[in-house]
Amino acid sequence: MPELNLPLIIEAEQLMPQLDNRNLLLVDLSSPETYVQYHIPGAVYLEYAWIVRIEHPRLGLLPDPAQLTNVLSALGLRPDTHVVTYDDEGGGRACRFLWTLEAAGHKNFSLLNGGLKAWANEGHEISSKIIYPTPCDYTVNMDFTGVATRQYILDNLSNEQVVIFDTRSPAEFSGKKVYAQRGGHIPGAVNMEWTEAMDKNRDLRLKPENELRQLLESRGVTPDRQIIVHCHSHHRSAHTYIMLKTLGYPDIKGYPGSWSDWGNEPNTPIEHG
């Protein structure tokens, strides 16, 4: 079957004609309560906890290949399948799934702009029919191009061509709010809360490209540098990763574990304020 040629950020009008395409896998990462109540017709449900690994106090770690193989096989994913995903919270969970798919070596995927709320608020068809995927044997081929480790960041702290992009709240960034053993931020990091990329008047779709570029470039987040995004677990920052990817930033990495890894390590350098 030929590959679907869909953009990374897809609008509801572009998705509607493809809902019956056998090469499309529509994945819902909303809360289970929301999925049972309503979802896009044909969407299968994916529990967010299945695509992250926890080693307390470290959260949001990248699952090992065996776990990813089990999850993606259970979803019925095939190498030529085009995944379209969404959630009910502005895209954070859905984008973490897309980042994870990329790390698992899957190439074809899209984010529904605005997610379930945008779809429903525009009056598109919704369903409460539970969809059970047909499992298959999916082979994971890990690709760590888009993955940054703590050691990688430590090695590049003084590299002016690398930007550490912290997408937590300003209170977390400054150290006023502390959710790990230590608060603050990675030395030299720049901060933009992940929700600043969302258009609150358009069902949390991404803001227009020119607005996003202005927000980013005012912070020194420019396409000629390598950008490493993180939050507390690489949930919020996965949304930023996909946003940067759709803007054509060529060199982006996400930091799984994020501050729950950095801030719970006793000897990592930290700045406050």
What does the alpha-carbon distance between residue 27 and residue 50 come to, in Å, rounded to a whole number? 13
Residue 201: what residue type? Answer: N
Catalytic residue among 231, 238, 242, 244: 231
Token pair, residue 249, equals: 């930033």
d(CA 49, CA 36): 17
Name, in order, each residue with C-beta under 8 angstroms of 118's C-beta and a sequence gap of 6 or more: 12, 112, 202, 203, 204, 205
Catalytic site includes residue 231: yes
Order of strands across the sheet with 190-191? 190-191, 162-166, 226-230, 252-254
Residues that are catalytic: 231
